[in-house]
């Protein structure tokens, strides 16, 4: 059978299940649909109204992993991200815990002689988030027991700008499970130079973000789950629980410091105080 015939047959099956089939495989169906949306750069499907009680946290992460596999085709991912790491963000999506996603191959914006350049037209509803990123020195495939053990394997801490882009089909409001299944809006990241953990207290960083000289966001790094190390520990253990292996050098970002703000044209400056300073231009 040709691939297009198989896809058409699956589409018919999916359509039928959406109107009454009770034996649908939520993970296979959701993974296929999310994978197609990511591959074709289409709005993310909102699955929660269709899947009901079958749409559990475990199934949402299984859908995400299956979809990411379709997109990457074996290529190494840039890293992993945490979201909803503040009480306000969790309340917005009726969540009682953070969520995690994958930073896809090619998602890192590389600087040039003119600095970091972002094209607004390549997004739909982009946001700007300032974060901290971490890189580990060894491969991790099993849960890390505690923060003390985690600190022993962190090689560097870096300033990160995340530019998520969450657009849903029909602009339907997603819930936390929808966010997980559709990879938490992961799109692009800018990563500044890293520092050794011995030179930095990740819980003592204040960040101010300016656009064209106007302050648009400010926050303290400790506000992320109340402790950057706990946020990183959660992300590491959630990532391996989903079935991923964290490779040395991959980026782990712990969530927005302060609020997420809409991405607009102009010059942005993220001032991390003595830790770092990142600038990028949006055209």
- pLDDT per residue as tens digits for the range 169-182: 888 889 999 999 99
Residue 168, pLDDT above cutoff 50: yes
Span 187-192, average pLDDT: 98
Residue 16, pLDDT above cutoff 50: no
Amino acid 171: pLDDT: 80
Given CA atoms 71, 163, 80, 95 in this order, what sign does their dihedral have? Answer: negative
Question: What letter does residue 45 receive in the DSSP assignment?
Answer: P
Provide the b/e sequence for 133-160 (b: ≥16 CB within 10 Å): bbbbeeebeeebeeeeebeebbebbbbb
Confidence of residue 22 (pLDDT cuts 50, 70, 90): low
Quick one: which of 246, 191, 202 has its CA closest to 224?
Answer: 202
Residue 97, pLDDT above cutoff 60: yes
Confidence (pTM) = 0.90
**Residue 203, token pair as written in the block:** 């819980």
Amino acid 187: pLDDT: 97
Residue 256, pLDDT above cutoff 70: yes
The residue that leads in pLDDT, 190 or 21, is 190
The residue that leads in pLDDT, 13 or 157, is 157
Q: Angle at which helices 26-39 and 57-72 pack, to 10 degrees? A: 40
The residue that leads in pLDDT, 199 or 9, is 199
The residue that leads in pLDDT, 200 or 16, is 200
Amino acid 12: pLDDT: 39
Amino acid 173: pLDDT: 86
Amino acid 114: pLDDT: 85
Listed in sequence order, the residues at least 6 apart from 51 whose beta carbon sits closer than 8 Å to its beta carbon are 26, 30, 59
Of the given ranges (17-31, 47-61, 117-131), which has the lowest mean pLDDT? 17-31
How many CA atoms, within 13 angstroms, populate the side-chain half-sphere of residue 196?
3
Confidence of residue 24 (pLDDT cuts 50, 70, 90): confident
């Amino acid at each position: 059978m040709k691939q297009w015939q198989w896809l058409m047959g699956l589409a018919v099956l999916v359509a039928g299940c959406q109107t009454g089939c009770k034996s649908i495989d939520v993970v296979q169906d959701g993974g296929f649909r999310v994978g197609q949306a990511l591959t074709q750069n289409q709005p993310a499907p909102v699955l929660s109204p269709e899947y009901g009680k079958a749409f559990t946290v475990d199934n949402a992460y299984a859908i995400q992993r299956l979809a990411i596999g379709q997109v990457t085709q074996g290529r190494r991912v840039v890293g992993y991200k945490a979201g909803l790491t503040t009480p306000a963000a969790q309340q917005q999506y009726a969540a009682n815990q953070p969520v995690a996603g994958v930073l896809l191959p090619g998602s890192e914006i590389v600087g040039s002689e003119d600095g970091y350049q972002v094209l607004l037209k390549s997004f739909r509803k982009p946001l700007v988030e300032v974060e901290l990123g971490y890189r580990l020195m060894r491969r991790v495939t099993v849960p890390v027991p505690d923060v003390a053990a985690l600190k022993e394997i962190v090689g560097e801490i870096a300033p990160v700008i995340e530019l998520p882009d969450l657009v849903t089909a029909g602009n339907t409001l997603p819930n936390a499970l929808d966010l997980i299944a559709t990879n938490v809006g992961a799109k692009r990241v800018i990563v500044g130079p890293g520092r050794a953990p011995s030179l930095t207290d990740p819980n003592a960083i204040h960040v101010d973000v300016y656009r064209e000289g106007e302050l648009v966001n400010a926050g303290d790094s400790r506000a992320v789950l109340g402790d950057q190390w706990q946020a990183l520990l959660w992300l590491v253990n959630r990532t391996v629980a989903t079935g991923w292996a964290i490779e040395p050098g991959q980026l782990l970002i712990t969530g927005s410091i302060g609020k997420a703000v809409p991405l607009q044209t102009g010059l942005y400056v993220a001032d991390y105080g003595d830790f770092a300073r990142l600038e990028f231009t949006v055209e």
